[in-house]
Amino acid sequence: MLKKPDGRAGRADTEFQARIAALEAAPMGRTRLIVVLLCFVLNLLDGVDVVLLTYAAPVIAQEWGLKDGALGIVLTASLLGTAFGSMLMGPVADMIGRRKVVLIAITLIGGGMLAAATAHDMVMLAIWRVVTGVGIGAILASMASITSEFSNAKQRSFWVAFLQAGWPIGAIITGFTSAVLIHEYGWKPLFLGAGMLSVVILPVVAWLMPESLQFLAARPAPDRLERLNKLLVKLDQKALREAPSLPEKRGVNIGALFEGPRAKSTLALWLGMTMGWAGLYFLISWIPRIAVNAGLALDQAIMAGATFNIGAFIGSAGIGLLATRLPLNRLIPAFLGSATLLMLVFGWVSMPIAATFATILGLGVLVQGGFNAFYPTAAQLYPTEIRTTGIGTAMAVGRSGAILGPLAAGYLMEIGTDRGMLFLIYAIPLAIAAAAAWMVSSTKN
């Protein structure tokens, strides 16, 4: 909240708010599109970094003699790091800026992926996956905030949902690449290649990604007016004559997420993301392994994972388009409720391979598309000064589902749980996530 201005300060604040209102109504423009597409590319690279281990898991398990329970620990190591990164770096991003946190995150991701390629046992691989996960958690929360703040009012929900579609594109590319190369070269060169992608993208992000206008206006700096005007000119807006008033100094704290009617929505968001992630990461982490256990060849199993991510891209982009016309707190239940039913079909109905792949595609559309809409939901729910904290905290809490979901699945499979019961168990969290999304407010409080 801005300090009560009067006279000259009041005119400066009015002038600044006029620029914000003009940007809200204006077409996206070159600079804003570059920022949003850059966020998309970073999310795509995150998709590469997250699912590469999933595709490599059957090879690693054979090479190191790991059972499904032990493999589940390795698979969840990066998710543990992601939860920590989301919780720690979300508030940091609201204090020092989204851009700085993104650069730190890319450095951690690149370093973690390169170091993972040198691992010779489960412990070292798990440690480096935690490091990678911290960077992934930081970048995911920041990307949603940056995209929200650089989008116009009409297309904000679309662009934040479209951003999430980058993740499955990265996963699709990783799946097809892994299916071709992993037999010939093994898994370690793939990790080296993924790490080098982060090394290459780091200077590009440092050059092209500015800090958001709202963040620059809210933080004191000797050259504050100059930085605001430099960005305004890039956004095709007139420069300001004076800098707006600084907001009242408030520490970023978790309590702000529970002020007034926002409390119920925050709790519902946390529940929805926790349950949604449990179901989603069960599918992401274990589809290739389940396919191998069912008798498919490794390349077919990897293609099953890639098929899921093709559906994920379609679902993420599709729900973004629908969100320009329908409220997210109605779209998410429709997607995840339908996914619940399809999980039961997939678990209990015997199908030929073509129908199996079609069902996996449908699960990708419904589960990933529905879950990814939680990000624009969170961006709408929280104001600028706590937006990354709100998104990051929801991600951190929700990651408990992403950690426990695949881990529990590993042990359930190890004790011989059949496919029908396994998919019944993991359909339940998706149904809960659908109900929770219904209770999240569709507007910012």
Residue 327: per-residue pLDDT = 87
In order of their start, the domains of the chain are 28-438 (1.20.1250.20)
Residue 252: per-residue pLDDT = 55
Count of beta carbons in the 10 Å neighbourhood of residue 262? 20
Give residues with Cβ within 8 angstroms of 237, minimum separation 6: 19, 22, 23
Answer yes or no: is pLDDT of 3 > 70. Answer: no
| Mean residue pLDDT across the chain | 83
Burial class of residue 183 (count of CB atoms within 10 Å of its CB; 0-12, 13-18, 19+): exposed
Q: Report which of 373, 363, 282 is spatially closest to residue 333, judged by C-alpha positions.
A: 373
Are 321 and 356 in contact by the 8 Å Cβ rule? The answer is no
Average pLDDT over residues 238-263: 77
Residue 266: per-residue pLDDT = 92
Residue 295: per-residue pLDDT = 66
Are 168 and 51 in contact by the 8 Å Cβ rule? The answer is no
75-84, 115-124, 173-182, 198-207: which has the highest mean pLDDT?
198-207
Q: Which residue has the higher pLDDT, 387 or 293?
A: 387
Average pLDDT over residues 85-100: 77
Q: Which residue has the higher pLDDT, 219 or 228?
A: 228
Residue 107: per-residue pLDDT = 94
Average pLDDT over residues 325-329: 85
Residue owning tokens 């489960």? 122
Residue 429: per-residue pLDDT = 94
Per-residue pLDDT reduced to its tens digit, 193-220:
999 999 999 999 999 999 888 888 877 8
Extract the tokens encoding 181: 């190369």
Residue 402: per-residue pLDDT = 76
Are 40 and 170 in contact by the 8 Å Cβ rule? The answer is no
Helix axes 29-64, 166-185, angle to 10 degrees: 40
Confidence of residue 186 (pLDDT cuts 50, 70, 90): confident
